[in-house]
Structure 1
Amino acid sequence: MTNKFKINRTNLSLWKGIAMVAGTFSFIICMLVLVNYIQINRIDPVNTEVINSLVDRLNDNPNDDQLREQIREMDLLVRKAYFTNQWQVKAGGYLFLFGIIVTAIALQLFYAGKRQLPQISEEEEENIILFREKARKWIVVGGFGMVGITMIFAFLTHKELGNQFTEAAKIAKAEKTENTQSDVPVVEVVGKEEIAGSVVVEEKVAEEFKEETPKEETLVSVAKKEEVVVEKAKTNSYKGTYPTEEMMANFPSFRGPAGNGIAFQKNIPNEWDGASGKNILWKQPVPIHAYNSPVIWGNKLFLSGANATSREVYCYDRNNGKLLWTAKADQIPGSPANPPEVTPDTGHAASTVTTDGNSVFAVFSNGDLIAVDMSGKRQWAKNLGVPDNHYGHSSSLIVFEDKLIVQYDQKKNSKVMALSTSNGEEVWSTVRKVRVSWSSPVIVNNGGQVEVILAADPCIASYDAYTGKELWKIDCITGEVGPSVAYANGIVFALNEYASLVAIKPGEKPEILWEAYDYLSDVPSPVAYNDLLFVVTSYGAVACYNAKAGEILWEKEFDAGFYASPILADGKIYLMDRKGVMHIFKAEKEYVELATSSLGEKSDASPAFADGRVYIRGEKNLYCIGK
Structure 2
Amino acid sequence: MNKKFKLNRTNLPLWRGIAIIAGTFSFIICMLVLVNYVQINRVDPVNTGVINSLVDRLNENPNDEQLREQIREMDLLVRKAYFTNQWQIKAGGYLLLFGVIVLAIALHLFYSGKKELPQVFEKDEENIILFREKARKWIVIGGFGIVGITLFFAFLTHKELGNQFTVAASTAKVTAEQVRTQQVAEVVEVIAEVVPEKKNEEVKEIEAEVIVEKAPEKQTLPAKEEVKDAKPIETSTKYTGTYPSKEMMANFPSFRGAGGNGIAYQKNIPNEWDGASGKNILWKQPVPIQAYNSPVIWGNKLFLSGANATSREIYCYERNKGKLLWTVKVEKISGSPAESPEVTPDTGYAASTLTTDGKSVFAIFANGDVISVDMNGEKQWAKNLGVPDNHYGHSSSLLVFEDKLIVQYDQKKSGKVMALSTKSGDEIWSTPRNVRVSWASPVIVQNDGRVEVLLAADPSVASYDAQTGEELWKLDCITGEVGPSVAYQNGIVFALNEYASLVAIKPGENPEILWEAYDYLSDVPSPIAYEDLLFIVTSYGAVACYNAISGEIFWEQEFDAGFYASPILVDGKIYLMDREGVMHIFKAEKEYVSLATSALGEKSDASPAFADGKVYIRGEKNLYCIGK
TM-score by structure 1 length? 0.78
Partner of 2:45: 45
Task: Select between 311-320 and 62-71 the one with higher mean Cα deviation.
Answer: 62-71
Partner of 1:436: 437
Q: Measured at CA, do residues 25 and 383 of structure 1 come closer, stay the same or move farther in structure 2, by a change above 3 Å?
A: closer
Partner of 2:177: 187
Answer yes or no: is the 8 Å Cα contact 1:553–1:589 preserved in 2. yes
Q: Which SS does the other structure have where 1:435 is aligned?
A: coil
Q: Deviations over 1:572-618 (max 9, x none)?
A: 11100011111111111111111111111111000111111111111
Answer yes or no: is the 8 Å Cα contact 1:348–1:365 preserved in 2. yes
> Aligned partners of 1:389, 1:64: CA distance in 2, in Å?
42
Answer yes or no: is the 8 Å Cα contact 2:47–2:168 preserved in 1. no
Partner of 2:9: none
Q: Measured at CA, do residues 278 and 563 of structure 1 come closer, stay the same or move farther in structure 2, by a change above 3 Å?
A: same
Partner of 1:311: 312
> Aligned partners of 1:147, 1:493: CA distance in 2, in Å?
47
Answer yes or no: is the 8 Å Cα contact 1:237–1:449 preserved in 2. yes
Across the two proteins, how many residue pairs are aligned to each other? 557
Partner of 1:574: 575
Partner of 1:545: 546
Matches within 5 A, 1:83-102: 83-92=83-92
Q: Measured at CA, do residues 289 and 170 of structure 1 come closer, stay the same or move farther in structure 2, by a change above 3 Å?
A: farther
Q: Deviations over 1:209-257 (max 9, x none)?
A: xxxxxx973533xxxx6xx5xxx44x34112111111111111000000
Matches within 5 A, 1:155-234: 156-165=153-162, 187=177, 217=228, 219-220=230-231, 228=233, 232-233=234-235
> Aligned partners of 2:399, 2:569: CA distance in 1, in Å?
19
Q: Deviations over 1:321-358 (max 9, x none)?
A: 11111111111112222111222221111110000000
Q: Measured at CA, do residues 147 and 88 of structure 1 come closer, stay the same or move farther in structure 2, by a change above 3 Å?
A: farther
Q: Measured at CA, do residues 171 and 285 of structure 1 come closer, stay the same or move farther in structure 2, by a change above 3 Å?
A: farther
Partner of 1:343: 344
Task: Select between 277-286 and 148-157 the one with higher mean Cα deviation.
Answer: 148-157
Q: Measured at CA, do residues 60 and 458 of structure 1 come closer, stay the same or move farther in structure 2, by a change above 3 Å?
A: farther
- Taking only aligned residues, the RMSD between alpha carbons, in angstroms, comes to 4.2
Answer yes or no: is the 8 Å Cα contact 1:444–1:451 preserved in 2. yes
What amino acid is the match of 2:177?
V
The answer to whether 1:493 aligns with 2:483 is no
Partner of 1:400: 401
What amino acid is the match of 1:82?
Y
Partner of 2:249: 248
Answer yes or no: is the 8 Å Cα contact 2:316–2:324 preserved in 1. yes
What amino acid is the match of 1:321?
G
Answer yes or no: is the 8 Å Cα contact 1:566–1:606 preserved in 2. yes
What amino acid is the match of 2:281?
I
Partner of 1:81: 81
> Aligned partners of 2:255, 2:469: CA distance in 1, in Å?
21
What amino acid is the match of 2:396?
S
Partner of 1:110: none
> Aligned partners of 2:76, 2:401: CA distance in 1, in Å?
40
Partner of 2:190: none
Partner of 1:118: none
Matches within 5 A, 1:207-606: 217=228, 219-220=230-231, 228=233, 232-233=234-235, 235-606=236-607
TM-score by structure 2 length? 0.78
Task: Select between 264-273 and 393-402 the one with higher mean Cα deviation.
Answer: 264-273
Q: Which SS does the other structure have where 2:39 is aligned?
A: helix
> Where does structure 1 lack aligned partners over 5 or more consecutive residues?
1-15, 107-137, 176-183, 191-214
**1:36 Cα deviation after fit:** 2.7
Identity level (%)? 78
What amino acid is the match of 1:165?
G
The answer to whether 1:72 aligns with 2:72 is yes
> Aligned partners of 2:94, 2:339: CA distance in 1, in Å?
45
Q: Deviations over 1:422-472 (max 9, x none)?
A: 011111112211111111011111211211111111111221212222222
Answer yes or no: is the 8 Å Cα contact 2:494–2:503 preserved in 1. yes
> Aligned partners of 1:609, 1:261: CA distance in 2, in Å?
12
Q: Measured at CA, do residues 367 and 49 of structure 1 come closer, stay the same or move farther in structure 2, by a change above 3 Å?
A: farther
Q: Measured at CA, do residues 97 and 396 of structure 1 come closer, stay the same or move farther in structure 2, by a change above 3 Å?
A: closer
Q: Deviations over 1:371-399 (max 9, x none)?
A: 10001111111111221222111111111
